[in-house]
Amino acid sequence: MTDLNTWQLTLPAALAVAVIGYLLGSIPFGLVLTRMAGLGDVRKIGSGNIGATNVLRTGNKKLAAATLLLDAFKGTFAVLIAWKLFGDDAGIVAGFCAFIGHLFPVWLGFKGGKGVATYIGILLGLAPLMVVLFALVWLAVAFTTRYSSLSALVATLVIPVALWILGAEKIAAAMALMTVITWWKHKANIARLMAGTESKIGAKG
Please give the pLDDT value at position 203: 63
* pLDDT by residue, tens only, the chain of 205 residues: 344 556 678 889 999 999 999 999 999 999 999 999 888 888 888 777 888 888 888 888 899 899 999 999 999 999 999 999 999 999 999 999 999 999 999 999 999 889 999 999 999 999 999 999 999 999 999 999 999 999 999 999 999 999 999 999 999 999 999 999 999 999 999 999 999 999 887 665 4
- The per-residue DSSP string of 101-136 comes to HHHS-GGGTT----SHHHHHHHHHHH-THHHHHHHH
- Tell me how far apart the alpha carbons of residues 133 and 121 are, in angstroms, rounded to a whole number: 14
Please give the pLDDT value at position 204: 55
- What are the residue ranges spanned by the domains of the chain? 11-195
